[in-house]
Structure 1
Amino acid sequence: MTLQGYFLTLLQGLPVTLSLSVAGIFTACLLAIILSLLLSLNKKYLNRVIRAYLIAFTGTPLLVQLFLIYYGPAQFNQIKQYLPHLWSLLSSPWFCAYLALSLNSAAYTTQIFYGALKAVPSGQWQACSALGMTKFQSLRIILPYALKRAMSSYSNEVIFVVKGTALASTITLMDVMGYNQLLNGRYYDFSILILTGLIYLVINGLLSVIMRLIEWRALKFERI
């Protein structure tokens, strides 16, 4: 097979890679915002639960999490018997990969967003308090500013999510890396790996440009 044939075959997995990336990024971002807000409320037992989740998902490899989510429920016949709708989701490779990516990225993104909230100057909190705002009302004002300041670090996490989709092929999902393994099994050609790397490089390059533009617009107020 020619290089063009390799490239066209690899592109067949691009929709799966992109769908996993986009869905995982948006879900993780939304979940991270919610968790950051909850952490900022300083509820003792709630914070312990959230921090346990953060430790579990930042302290273990994404590949292990992916295997646990995909293969773990299969050990319990009760899920298949009494929760058929949940079983249909957990038996889907795409959903399991999406869930693992989302939960993993949400843990890291929460640390980024919460760190940005803690880095907000105390004067802004005091100004909100002086206006008679509650903690939750203050967060509605301060959170957008903190998220803008966190864009630089968050852009790296977005790229990590795209790279993480390459692990989806380990649970039979035919993304770009899945077709790479298929072609390598048939032709054992080193150029297949180079083409695969170039596809991920282009995706991440475009993402980097997009995130830098978003960051530039988000921090435009500082240049006025």
Structure 2
Amino acid sequence: MADKEYVLGNKARELLTYTNQATKIVTDDVSQRDVRKILQKIAALDDIRDVKQVCGQMIGYLDKKDKQGFTKAAYRCYGEDMRKTAKGIVRDIHAANGKYFDTEYEERLRLIGKILDGCNLMLEYIQICLDMGTISLEKSKVWTKKVLDVKYMSAKWKKNDGARAKKLEDEKRAEEAARQVAVVKTAISQYNEDRRRVRPT
């Protein structure tokens, strides 16, 4: 893998790892372990006033718990697809880099286009999740930066390879034109030679 594509591959893996972490499902429900701890603490108290105080503290703690994150419904609607998209970006970078440019540049450019499409979709999903309050502004900034790192590097890759592909296409067209001219010249030469042979003396 070329140096730039190696860096791009690393950036894409970072994006995938962050996406998997950021789309973990959270729930507002109290876990059985939390309930067990609360009941054990209350059971150990003798004075009703202490029970009320502990209950008040626990309610405050639960109210302050961060409610941001993907619910099961949000995960099914957006999070799951975001993970698949991030995984597809990693896959397509490696697939594009594995194409031999001189003979497979069209497929390589198509795959780079898929990478860019994936990045654009990720940015759209991040904005939707921010608007819904599923993620914080801070998390959206970090996530967006990771997507843009991949997008800008991929766009530069496509631009450079596009210029190389155009050069190859121009060379092919020039070779084909030269070949056609040679065929026509050969045909004319053969025609003139045949006429000389059949010309009456």
With normalisation by structure 1, the TM-score equals: 0.25
Give the greater-gyration-radius structure (CA): 2
Greater RCO (Cα-Cα under 8 Å, separation 6 or more): 1
With normalisation by structure 2, the TM-score equals: 0.27
